[in-house]
Chain A
């Protein structure tokens, strides 16, 4: 167990280093460098800037050093939470992200929770009542869920909400609660606004999970031990929960890390369409403005989240299936 854990941890650290190199490469490959931006900013205030001044700034910022030294400088500061300066926001990157990251995390984890909470019961139902009306309905929704681009779903739900429910769907709060102090009504308003992002982000993943849960259950239901348990007089419900469901959950739990990757991957575009004050619009704006320290830091953090997710799902798998430890 300990050797397994340490191997996974070592692997996690290596992945993290690789990810940081990729993020840094993206920061570096933006046209122009930070010194020119600083120079442009000073020039905007009316100061005369010469080429020598730009060189001076470059030396000050360490931009004349070879890339691996620059990388190390960036990385060692990034680990301490200092991701550089966002010139578009005129504030440190870490501060800007810290304001918006909690919401991204909240949405990502509620989506993950939603996906599993919905797909596991439906998957079990679909497998037990195979080819029933409910099964066909679930697979129809599954196919659609995989085919609709999530930004389009967000747009349609937003339009329907606006048109028929007369509710403002974008953002996090209705106008009347926007600046209101925290109250019960405001919490309810917040939750109502979280429903659509979670639904939009979770639909494709839910569809996928229903299919794999159904397939895993069908594999298990045909096995002899199910027959044996039934013959020994277990009630159908007890039998289902105690044996095949537990077995079928293994592959589902094993892909938790990938599901998290998927949710994180879709989050920016959904956040942008729904105008949520999370990191999504921040990331896209940073990319469009080539505000690369911010964009690189966000990519790094997104990757960090998924790496942790993969690690957690590995742990879960070991806890759920003792056979894995023997490897």
Chain B
């Protein structure tokens, strides 16, 4: 058991082992890492993904308020930009935001929040706020930043006075979570179905390939929408959440299945497989220990491409009100508020959660490109 775990982490260990640049001695994973490292955009993508992951894990610490806390004095208020230089041109080491006063616009009769330069609210760091559990375990009330006596809204507030920054930070959990579970499910489905097709070949293979072609030739988004619309309305948030991920995964497995199948077909008759068979390995062991590791890198590439697709699909479904729903928060759920032109006209900052989606998808595409180049470390160039 312990050696199994030890072995499972071998690729990771080989990354961090300090060794001189000796391509002739390096492991496959080390070669891949060296190649990946040269792809600057991929490294940038990794950094962005790391940032998003930290955001999701430490959402309570990073956000100044719990996502459900309303600010009745600042409803539909625009973003407050932290500043270092005030209206007289003087520099402040501690950033501040200007306070606002609500004024009624005499033309539209709406409350408009005007910047009041006489009020300077200084940003405080590591302040005490609403209590929470760090990583769900450690009870604490330290939050990364905040201001005294008033509330700060970096991204503004929505029509009910909820802080958009806190909500966006918390939404990373559901958005990345759905995509992660969706990719995992399609990974399992894809490798199982593709594995069966590639290993048994013949009629089963033919059937699976036709099925994949069929699924590819139908427009997926309308089908996703239809399946999502058929979900009973009385299901709780968790059941909806799970159902949505399964729906997304159901149509996303085809790329992986195809890769697994073609790689299995290609490597099935290699010499090392014959050698393993002659030394008495079972089929299961051959697949697990010899075949799968030989094309695992390609599967990782496919997964990294499937990830943004599922993320975008979830965002689209939730944006239309057919995916996740309140009280679950994902970026798509937040964008639901920006559905019509009137809302955007009054509060364009409601579109900010979309920026997170774009950043996440870009980061995954960058990493995917880098992985694709690194997947075959023995190729030239």
Please list the residues of chain A having a beta carbon within 8 angstroms of any beta carbon in chain B: 15, 18-19, 22, 26, 29-31, 143-144, 146-149, 151-152, 155-156, 158-159, 162-163, 169-170, 257-258, 261-262, 264-266, 268-269, 272-273, 283-284, 287-288, 290, 295, 298-299, 302-303, 306-307, 310
Contacts and interface: CB of A to CB of B under 8 A. Distances in A.
Nearest to B313: A149
Q: Which DSSP category, helix, strand, loop or mixed, fits chain B's interface?
A: helix
Contact of B345 (A15, A26, A162, A266): A162
Contacts of A262: 219
Nearest to B211: A18
Interface in B47-78: none
Interface string B311-345: 01001100111100000000000010011010011
A159 B226 contact: no
Given A162-B341, A302-B222, A31 B232 contact: yes
A162 B343 CA distance: 13
B335 A152 contact: yes
A94 to B, nearest CB: 18
Contacts of B230: 26, 29-30, 290
Contact of A159 (B316, B339, B348): B348
Interface string B342-359: 001100100100100110
B358 to A, nearest CB: 5
Q: Bin the interface of chain B by size.
A: 35 or more
Listed from nearest, the 5 A-B pairs whose CB atoms lie closest are A265-B219, A287-B229, A147-B361, A265-B221, A152-B354
A10 to B, nearest CB: 12
B308 interface: yes
A108 to B, nearest CB: 11
A160 B274 CA distance: 64
Contacts of A162: 341, 345
A146 B335 contact: no
Interface in B205-227: 214, 216-223, 225-227
Nearest to B319: A151
B365 interface: yes
Given A15-B217, A303-B217, 12 more contacts: A19-B218, A22-B218, A143-B362, A146-B365, A147-B365, A149-B358, A152-B357, A159-B341, A159-B348, A261-B218, A287-B322, A295-B226
Nearest to A303: B218
Contact of A303 (B219, B225, B339, B351): B219
Given A146-B361, A303-B219, A284 B348 contact: no
Given A147-B358, A149-B354, A310 B217 contact: yes
Contact of B341 (A15, A31, A158): A158
A225 B315 CA distance: 47
Contacts of A257: 217
B229 A288 contact: yes
Interface string B295-317: 00000000000001000100110
Contacts of B222: 264-265, 268, 283, 298-299, 302
Given A268-B221, A269-B316, A156 B345 contact: no
Interface of B: 214, 216-223, 225-227, 229-230, 232, 308, 312, 315-316, 319-322, 335, 338-339, 341, 344-345, 348, 351, 354, 357-358, 361-362, 365-366
B312 A149 contact: yes
Nearest to A310: B217
Given A288-B321, A302-B219, A306-B217, A147 B308 contact: yes
Contact of A155 (B232, B351, B358): B351
Nearest to A29: B230
Contacts of B227: 26
B354 A159 contact: no
Contact of A268 (B225, B341, B361, B366): B225
Nearest to A159: B344
A31 B366 CA distance: 43
A298 B216 CA distance: 18
Nearest to B357: A149
A31 B233 CA distance: 11
Contact of A306 (B219, B225, B344): B219
Nearest to A158: B341
Contacts of B218: 19, 22, 261, 302-303, 306
A30 B230 CA distance: 6
Contacts of A148: 354, 358
Nearest to B339: A273
Contacts of A295: 226, 229
Contacts of A283: 222, 225
Contact of A143 (B216, B319, B365): B365
A136 B116 CA distance: 44
Nearest to A23: B226
A167 B207 CA distance: 53
A307 B338 contact: no
Contact of A149 (B220, B223, B315, B322): B315
A170 B308 CA distance: 28
Contacts of A299: 222-223, 226
Contacts of B322: 284, 287-288
6 contacts: A26-B226, A26-B230, A147-B308, A149-B357, A151-B319, A155-B354
Contacts of A158: 341, 344
B318 to A, nearest CB: 11
Contacts of A143: 362, 365-366
A261 B219 contact: yes
Nearest to B355: A152
A75 to B, nearest CB: 17
B308 A156 contact: no
B351 A156 contact: yes
A306 to B, nearest CB: 6
A305 to B, nearest CB: 8
Nearest to B308: A147
Nearest to B321: A288
Contacts of A29: 230
A326 B366 CA distance: 39
Contacts of B217: 15, 257, 261, 303, 306-307, 310
